[in-house]
Amino acid sequence: MPAIHVASRKPKVDARAAANAAAEYFKELYPTVTAFSLEEVELSEDGTHWLITLSFEIPHTQSLGIMAFQPPRTKFKVFKVDAKTGRVMAMKIRKLE
């Protein structure tokens, strides 16, 4: 039985670089969103990709009535970033449980 080399599963792209890649990708897709936050960083079990969760707020579109006094809605996006290249492979909606 061949030995499993743990070092071969170590990502070339660290968590900070993966988060930066996700943030840059997000800014390209949502240029009107001026503020967002890093919420979660997770390396996949097999070490092939990072899952980066970003949050941002969507203000209510109605400025009159009771809607004006409600806080903005927070949205979450999960980015799948290749751990070897740092390339964003996917973006999905993250719903809280």
Q: pLDDT by residue (tens digit) across 27-84? A: 999 999 989 999 999 999 999 999 999 999 987 665 555 555 666 689 999 999 999 9
CATH number of the domain enclosing 72: 3.10.450
How many domains are contained in the chain?
1
Q: How many residues make up the chain in this entry? A: 97
Q: Is residue 83 part of a domain?
A: yes
Task: Sheet containing 88-93: give its strands across.
Answer: 36-43, 49-58, 73-82, 88-93
Amino acid identity for residue 39 in this structure: E
Quick one: pLDDT at residue 5? 47
Mean pLDDT in residue range 79-90: 97
Q: Provide the domain limits for residue 49.
A: 11-93
Q: What is the pLDDT of residue 45?
A: 95
Q: What's the confidence (pLDDT) of residue 77?
A: 97
Residue pair 6/15 in contact (Cβ under 8 Å)? The answer is no
Question: What is the C-alpha to C-alpha distance for residues 89 and 37, in angstroms, rounded to an integer?
Answer: 20
Residue 3 in any domain: the answer is no
Residue 17 lies in a domain: yes
